[in-house]
């Protein structure tokens, strides 16, 4: 019923295939993931088996062309998939987004033919989990202030430093990392490399104990005299930072979609609960105090989806998204935070317990205004774009 | 091996049924349709047989234009081609079985699989009727199937246990939950499905055996009763369960 109303009130028409893909991942999320959501969350267990299964189904190489073992789809399908996963478990949605949108996509966009053929088939099929390392303990929003260095030494790159808050840090066999190759050149002195657990000097440590998104693995990567072959450089020397910004630009669409899904999950749970919960002799959804909350959530989600799919459609059409993607990410993540908070309010005391799903949405949602560019950074980008117009 | 799977396009299990003004249909607004869940077991079994022995899996559905969505889902799971037998409105199960049998015969399928029932009309008769019309053997409510050459060994679910039966090809099997775990379609399968053919023809229903007079909703359930909230209510609860509900 809910699905039907989403369809009829949404102005972007989806194709038959897009709907079947959406229904398939929805079915999988409802039947395979939903029963285990709290189990993964409480134990902070990384659901490797689920990611492998999603890989077999083609959901770990969504944007990668079929010739490299991917599914060859676009950002609209990508957003639909992330959205459906996030309605049920935002942390699995985050894992799928990080794997597809960051590591795998970086390798696809900037890898040469040899690198693509070597790494993409394993990543796109989920046989190998990927990580992407930009953030460091002392550089977050100011990514260019990173300290990790890569020095060319007798035909190899010697990498030293560390990366922080890395999704799949512990489980990833392959990663893309950024390091300074020429300190004097600032942003233009940063390069991207293919790294991984199979290299000496590469280690993952300190799995973070997080507020939310607890099923998603987040760890620190340390490089101590990590020796990477010369051919592991991605693109040209000094292009790493601009590559990373391009990767993050597409990543914003996926976080926006994740936010829409999480907010919809919170609304769906609220609709159900408020129709069943009786106070003062009536279901609480007959009170305007509750109705207004539901109406605001619905309206905001609708607006956020329009921004998100506008960005996704633009990206698929090859149009620039530097302007629209930050708006989608900013708006969707902030309305999701509001929706999760209101959902807990609607559930009252029960919303504060782990017996109902909104408690987890409330914890998970905070990552969305922080990860892949904070709300503040999105606003800076949007304002900068305005100034340039 | 030439395998036919018969599938139904049915309202989702969570649908709140409302009856349309003509009393012949349900209100379509807000109703989403799915592949009949029991048919998923039939498709999965057909695909496993094909993976083991080779051959072709053809999916047959009788219904309107929208039944193609369900055929596409079966194609996305891995079936090779589809046939839509076009019908309009209510079709009685015997006529349906006849139309399916016609198509199966012209296709020469030796193994026919379908769900033990479709969850809309719940007649649980199509498999048996089709087998009778075709002159095939028939195993219903199947939870385990082994086919070796032309020999068929199947397990059926019966009250409190299982029954092991043996028959031979050609055969019609009706699938019960437990037969297998149906696969989810992969993206690759979904994309390939749109390129797989779906033939359309009028269903050869023949003589009408039963007509639908009217659809009715079941009478509303009585609301629950709270006998008490602590242990002092137990004797009264037991008395009511024994004397009124007669369940203990």
Q: Residue A4 pLDDT more than 90?
A: no
Q: Which of A2, A54, A57 is most worth mutating to test chain B (most B CB atoms within 10 A of its CB)? A: A57
Interchain pair A20, B76: CB under 8 A = yes
The whole-number average pLDDT for the span A36-55 is 95
Residue A127 vs residues A60, A174, A182, B78: alpha-carbon distances, Å: 9, 11, 35, 22
A85, burial (CB in 10 Å: exposed 0-12, middle 13-18, buried 19+):
buried
DSSP single-letter state for residue A349: G
CATH number at residue A186: 2.40.110.10
> CB–CB of A24 and B188 under 8 A?
no
Domain co-membership, A221 together with A281: no
In terms of DSSP H, where are the helices of chain B?
A: 37-53, 67-77, 93-107, 126-134, 187-193, 234-243
Say if residues B164 and B155 touch (Cβ distance below 8 Å).
yes
User: Do both A148 and A86 map to the same domain?
Assistant: no
Whether the per-residue pLDDT at B227 is higher than 90: the answer is no
Q: Please name the residue that has the structure tokens 């490089």.
A: A223
pLDDT one-digit tens code per residue, A265-277: 999 999 999 999 9
Indicate whether A221 and A301 sit together in one domain.
no
**Confidence label for B246 from pLDDT (cuts 50, 70 and 90):** confident
Mean per-residue pLDDT, A349-359: 96
Q: In terms of domains, do A136 and A125 share one?
A: no
Q: Do residues A233 and A336 both lie within one domain?
A: no
ipTM comes to 0.84
- Kindly report the nearest CA distance between residue A291 and chain B, in angstroms: 21
Q: What is the pLDDT of residue A12?
A: 67
Q: What is the pLDDT of residue B41?
A: 98
Residue in A with minimal Cα distance to B75: A20
Quick one: DSSP state of residue A15?
A: P
Contact B191 A4 (CB under 8 A): no
Domain boundaries, chain B: 2-202
> If residue A75 lies in a helix (H) or strand (E), which one and from where to where?
helix A75-88
Average pLDDT on B41-48 reads 98
Q: Which residues pair with B115 in a beta bridge?
A: B175
Q: Can you give the pLDDT at residue A123?
A: 98
Q: Give residue B155's pLDDT.
A: 96
Whether residues A32 and A74 share a domain: the answer is: yes
Provide CB contacts within 8 A for A190, sequence distance 6+: A144, A146, A178, A179, A180, A181, A238, A240, A241, A244
Domain stop point among A96, A129, A162: A129
Mean pLDDT of all residues in B189-197 = 94
Q: pLDDT tens across A80-103, in order? A: 999 999 999 999 999 999 999 999
The values of phi and psi at residue A142, to 5°, are: -90, 65
Does residue B136 register a pLDDT over 90? yes
**Whole-prediction pTM:** 0.87
Q: What single DSSP character describes residue B192?
A: H
Q: What percent of chain B has pLDDT over 70?
A: 100
Structure tokens at B122: 């719940």
Candidates B65, B192, B179, B168; CA nearest to B111 is B168
Q: Kindly report the number of other CB atoms within 10 A of residue B16's CB atom.
A: 10
A193, A231 in Cβ contact below 8 A?
no
Residues of A in Cβ contact (< 8 Å) with B187: 21, 57-59, 62, 71, 73
A93 and A197 together in one domain:
no
Q: What number is the average pLDDT over the span A28-39?
A: 96
The pLDDT > 90 percentage for chain A reads 94
Report the SS3 class of residue B175.
strand
In this prediction, what percent of chain A has a pLDDT beyond 70? 97
Q: Are A94 and A107 in the same domain? A: yes
Whether the predicted pLDDT of A7 surpasses 80: no
Backbone angles phi, psi at B149, to 5 degrees: 65, -120
| Average pLDDT rounded to a whole number, residues A225-251 | 96
Q: In this structure, are A218 and A310 located in the same domain? A: no
Q: How many domains does chain A have?
A: 3
Same domain, A125 and A136: no
Is there a contact between A24 and B32 if contact means CB atoms under 8 Å apart?
no
Q: What is the pLDDT of residues B76-116, one digit of tens each?
A: 999 999 999 999 888 899 999 999 999 999 999 999 999 99
In the predicted model, what is the mean pLDDT of residues A16-31? Answer: 94
- pLDDT mean over B72-79: 96
Instruction: Encode pLDDT of A291-344 as tens digits.
Output: 999 999 999 999 999 999 999 999 999 999 999 999 999 999 999 999 999 999
Paired with A137 in beta bridges are none
pLDDT for residue B223: 78
Task: Compute the average pLDDT of residues A125-150.
Answer: 95
CATH architecture entry for B2-202: 3-Layer(aba) Sandwich (3.40)
Domain that holds residue A275: 242-388
CB B40 within 8 A of CB B93: no
Q: Where are the beta strands (DSSP E) in chain A?
A: 130-133, 149-153, 156-167, 174-180, 190-196, 202-205, 218-229, 233-234, 278-279, 282-283
What is d(CA A154, CA A223) in angstroms, rounded to the nearest whole number? 18
If asked whether residues A213 and A267 sit together in one domain, one would say no
* Strands ordered across the beta sheet of B81-86: B161-168, B151-158, B137-148, B171-175, B111-115, B2-6, B56-63, B81-86, B198-202
Rg (CA), chain B: 21
Q: Is A30 on the interface with B (CB under 8 A)?
A: no
Structure tokens at B134: 């075709």
- Domain holding A313: CATH number? 1.20.140.10
pLDDT of residue A5 exceeding 60? no
Q: Is A133 helix (H, G, I), strand (E, B) or coil?
A: strand
Q: Are A118 and A295 a contacting pair, CB within 8 Å?
A: no
Asked if A263 and A365 sit in the same domain, the reply is: yes
CA dist list (Å): B48 to A320, B3, B168, B181: 46, 11, 18, 11
């Amino acid at each position: 019923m809910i699905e039907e109303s989403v369809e009829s009130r949404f102005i972007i028409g989806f194709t038959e295939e897009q709907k079947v893909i959406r229904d398939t991942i929805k079915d999988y999320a409802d039947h395979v993931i939903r029963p285990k959501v709290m189990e993964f969350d409480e134990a902070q267990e990384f659901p490797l088996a689920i990611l492998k299964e999603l890989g077999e189904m083609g959901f770990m190489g969504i944007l990668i062309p079929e010739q490299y073992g991917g599914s060859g789809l676009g950002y609209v399908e990508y957003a639909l998939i992330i959205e459906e996963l996030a309605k049920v478990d935002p942390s699995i949605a985050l894992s799928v987004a990080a794997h597809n949108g960051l590591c795998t996509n970086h390798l696809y966009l900037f890898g040469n033919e040899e690198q693509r053929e070597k790494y993409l088939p394993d990543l796109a099929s989920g046989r190998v989990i990927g990580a992407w390392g930009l953030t460091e303990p002392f550089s977050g929003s100011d990514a260019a202030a990173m300290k990790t260095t890569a020095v060319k030494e007798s035909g190899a790159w010697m990498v030293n430093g560390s990366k922080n808050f890395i999704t799949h840090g512990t489980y990833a066999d392959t990663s893309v990392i950024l390091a300074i190759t020429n300190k004097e050149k600032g942003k233009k002195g940063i390069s991207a490399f293919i790294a991984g657990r199979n290299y000496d000097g590469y280690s993952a440590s300190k799995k973070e104990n997080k507020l939310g998104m607890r099923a998603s693995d987040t760890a620190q990567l340390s490089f101590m005299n990590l020796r990477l072959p010369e051919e592991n450089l991605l693109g040209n020397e000094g292009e790493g930072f601009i590559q990373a910004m391009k990767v993050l630009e597409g990543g914003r669409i996926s976080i926006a979609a994740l936010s829409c899904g999480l907010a919809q999950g919170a609304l769906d749970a609220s609709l159900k609960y408020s129709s069943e919960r009786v106070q003062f002799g009536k279901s609480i959804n007959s009170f305007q105090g509750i109705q207004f909350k539901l109406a605001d959530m619905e309206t905001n989600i609708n607006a956020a989806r329009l921004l998100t799919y506008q960005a996704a459609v633009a990206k698929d059409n090859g149009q620039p998204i530097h302007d629209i993607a930050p708006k989608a990410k900013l708006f969707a993540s902030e309305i999701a935070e509001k929706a999760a908070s209101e959902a807990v309010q609607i559930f009252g005391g029960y919303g504060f317990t782990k017996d109902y799903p909104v408690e987890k949405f409330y914890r998970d949602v905070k990552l969305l205004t922080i990860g892949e560019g904070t709300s503040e950074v999105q606003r800076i980008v949007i304002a900068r774009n305005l100034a340039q117009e | 091996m030439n395998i036919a799977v018969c599938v139904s396009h049915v309202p989702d299990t969570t649908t709140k049924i409302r009856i349309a003004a003509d009393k012949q249909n349900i209100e379509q607004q807000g109703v989403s349709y799915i592949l009949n869940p029991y048919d998923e077991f039939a498709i999965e079994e057909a695909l496993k047989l094909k993976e083991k022995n080779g051959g072709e899996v053809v999916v047959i559905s009788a219904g309107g234009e929208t039944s193609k969505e369900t055929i596409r889902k079966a194609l996305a799971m891995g079936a090779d081609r589809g046939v839509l037998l076009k019908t309009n409105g209510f079709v009685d199960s015997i006529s349906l079985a006849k139309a399916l049998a016609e198509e199966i015969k012209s296709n020469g399928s030796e193994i026919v699989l379908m769900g033990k029932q479709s969850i809309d009309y719940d007649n649980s008769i199509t498999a048996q009727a089709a087998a009778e019309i075709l002159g095939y053997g028939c195993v219903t409510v199947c939870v385990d199937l082994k086919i070796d050459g032309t020999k068929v060994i199947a397990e059926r679910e019966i009250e409190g246990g299982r029954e092991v039966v043996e028959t031979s090809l050609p055969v019609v099997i009706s699938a019960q939950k437990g037969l297998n775990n149906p696969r989810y379609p992969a993206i690759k399968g979904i994309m390939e499905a749109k390129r797989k053919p779906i033939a359309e023809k009028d269903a050869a229903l023949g003589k009408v055996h039963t007509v639908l007079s009217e659809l009715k909703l079941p009478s509303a359930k009585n609301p629950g009763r709270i006998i008490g909230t602590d242990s002092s209510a137990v004797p009264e609860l037991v008395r009511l369960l024994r004397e009124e509900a007669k369940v203990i």
